Structures are given as C-alpha cells and as structure tokens.
C-alpha cells in the first residue's frame, strides 16, 4: 500500500502561510489564488492527518504540529533550491529560468538597456522579472523565490553576496529659473530648499535623506510620492526640488516641462547599484557573468555622464 507524502507545492503553500499568518497575504506572496492556497494547506493537513493551523476571524495561528512542520518545511525547501542551483551551475552559464528582482528606481531605466544585450548573449536564458521595493526583494531572495536581485548597495540583510555594478551621481532637479549659483553646486545649497521624497519603503528615500542630513538640510514634510515620475512632476509644478539618479534623468525629465538640472560639485552624492544573491548559492560564476554583462551594457549605453563602473 502506497504511503502518501507531502508535495513541494503543499509545503510551499504552508510555509508561506506560516510566514504571513494570513491566507490573503500568503497567496499574494506566492502569486496564486487564495482558494488554491487554502486547498493546498488543507491537502497537507489531510496527508499528515493532523491540524496544522488554527483559523480565527482575523488571522491564522499555527498549532504545535504546525510549528514543527514549518521548521522542517523551511529546511526541505532550502535543500531543494540548493539542488536545483547545483544542477544549473553545472549545466552552463545563464541557461534556463532565472528569477530576477529589481527595485522600482532601477527597473524602468536599467532594463531597457540590459535586456536586449542579455537576449543576444544568452539566447537560452529564460528571464522572469519582478519589481518590488528592497525589503520585499531581499525577503523573496532569501526565501528562494528569487535567484538574484538588482538594487542599491549595501543590501540590508545578512546572507546576501554583493557584486557592485556601477556608481551613479544624484542630480538636483529644480523648477526652471532657480538661481543656485553656478554650473556645479555645493551640497549645502540644499539647506535653503524643500526636498521632495519618495514614500517610506523606497531605498532612494533613505539615500536622499542621508544626503540632506550630511549638510543639515531638511526634507519637505508634507509631500511624498510613490514614484520618481511623480516626484519630477511635483517639481515641475513648483512644489520643491528633488534628487534624481543619473540613469533616470533621460526618461523622467523628458516627461516634465519647466525643469532645471543642477549637478553637484565633487565629491557628488551618489548611490551604488549592484547585484545580490544568496551566499549559499553555488551559481557564483554564473552571477558574475551576469554582472559583467549588465555593467558592460550600462557602460556602452552612454546613458548619462555621472555613471562610473565599479572596479572589484
């Protein structure tokens, strides 16, 4: 008589539920429907012949058995991901599926430059791209649901290996007609301006705040935006100024009239963009190849003057 065993799909569903303690959030994390996730968890309970979760009106609680299964499921799925990574590593560089996460202040500007080159150099690569804020991308990476991420360094988590790609300067975008005193401005000019920021969760917000703090400047407290495009439009409307990374300038300034661009005197504030992957992943050489391709694509694009390759 055959003995039934949990499936990988059931373990993934249950682990997502254990991490989120909410069916809707767990389903969203796995990009599946809530009924499908509920069915997978129920099937796992039936297979193990035990209750794993306690359903309340607002959230889900794990039973003692559920706590044990969650710990074991995490180990099993991590080993499964490692098995898959090892097979990919010996199959050849950049062949087959690759799940890439990209932050929103990089994706619209970097991907049009990089994707055509990757398609030409690695025709057997099957890319899937996910755009999310840094914290969510790192969580997905460490959980094994992403293979590699493109984001601003340093990565705010342990267990992630970084490969720097390029540095890009910040440029002050102001309403046209602002007299800021010369072609290159000192950082201290921010002391007299209202700096508009992105909402909480965007790493670019934290970077802009750090630039402001360095010179004792303040950020505008009442106005935030969810995208660089909106920030630049707000500046165009005269509500303040903002800091925009070089790669975003050609796209965002084309969409908004009445803008002035002001570059900082050296040393200009900048951010470092890089590639991150799990430190336990055996695909190091493959990801180094990917990083080299991305860096060359940026260098060859001539997209902006304030971008510098990082020597590692």
How far is CA 152 from its chain centroid? 8
Tens-digit pLDDT profile for residues 28-45:
888 899 999 999 999 999
**pTM exceeding 0.85:** no
Range 93-312: architecture per CATH: 3-Layer(aba) Sandwich (3.40)
pLDDT over 50 (residue 1) = no
The residue written with tokens 């306690």 in the block is 54
Among 266, 267, 262, 223, smallest CA distance to 246 is for 262
CA dist 52 and 68 (Å) reads: 9
Q: How confident is the model at residue 137 (pLDDT cuts 50, 70, 90)?
A: very high
CA distances from 102 to 131, 135, 176, 205 (A): 5, 11, 32, 16
What is the per-residue pLDDT for 303? 62
CATH placement of domain 8-87: 1.10.10.10
CA distances from 103 to 114, 149, 250, 272, 301 (A): 15, 8, 18, 13, 20
What residue segments make up the domains of the chain, in order of their start?
Answer: 8-87, 93-312
Q: Where are the beta strands (DSSP E) in the chain?
A: 53-55, 60-62, 96-102, 125-131, 148-153, 160-175, 184-185, 195-198, 219-225, 242-245, 259-264, 270-278, 307-309
Instruction: Give the tokens for residue 5.
Output: 């065993």
Tens-digit pLDDT profile for residues 144-172:
889 999 999 999 899 999 999 999 999 99
């Amino acid at each position: 008589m055959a003995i039934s065993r949990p499936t990988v799909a059931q373990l993934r569903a249950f682990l997502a539920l254990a991490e989120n303690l909410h069916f809707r959030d767990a389903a969203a994390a796995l990009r599946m429907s809530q009924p499908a996730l509920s069915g997978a968890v129920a099937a796992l309970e039936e297979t193990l012949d035990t209750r794993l979760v306690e359903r309340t009106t607002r959230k889900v609680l794990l039973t003692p058995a559920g706590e044990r299964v969650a710990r074991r499921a995490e180990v099993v799925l991590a080993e499964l991901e490692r098995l898959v990574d090892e097979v990919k590593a010996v199959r050849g560089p950049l062949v087959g599926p690759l799940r890439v996460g990209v932050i929103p202040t990089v994706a619209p500007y970097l991907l049009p430059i990089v994707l055509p080159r990757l398609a030409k150099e690695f025709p057997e690569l099957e890319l899937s791209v996910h755009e999310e804020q840094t914290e969510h991308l790192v969580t997905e990476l460490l959980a094994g649901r992403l293979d590699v991420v493109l984001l601003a360094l340093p990565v705010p988590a342990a267990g992630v290996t970084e490969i720097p790609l390029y540095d890009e300067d910040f440029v002050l975008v102001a309403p046209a007609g602002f007299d800021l005193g010369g072609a290159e401005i000192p950082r201290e000019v921010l002391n007299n301006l209202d700096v508009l920021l992105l909402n909480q969760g965007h790493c670019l917000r934290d970077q802009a705040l750090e630039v402001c703090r360095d010179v004792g400047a303040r950020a505008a407290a009442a106005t935030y935006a969810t995208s660089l495009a909106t920030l630049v439009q707000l500046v165009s409307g005269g509500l303040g100024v903002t800091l925009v990374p070089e790669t975003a300038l050609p796209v965002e300034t084309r969409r908004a009239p009445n803008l002035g661009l002001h570059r900082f005197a050296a040393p200009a504030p900048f951010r470092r963009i890089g590639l991150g992957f799990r430190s336990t992943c055996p695909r190091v050489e493959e990801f180094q190849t990917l990083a080299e391709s991305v860096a060359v694509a940026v260098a060859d694009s001539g997209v902006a003057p304030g971008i510098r390759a990082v020597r590692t």
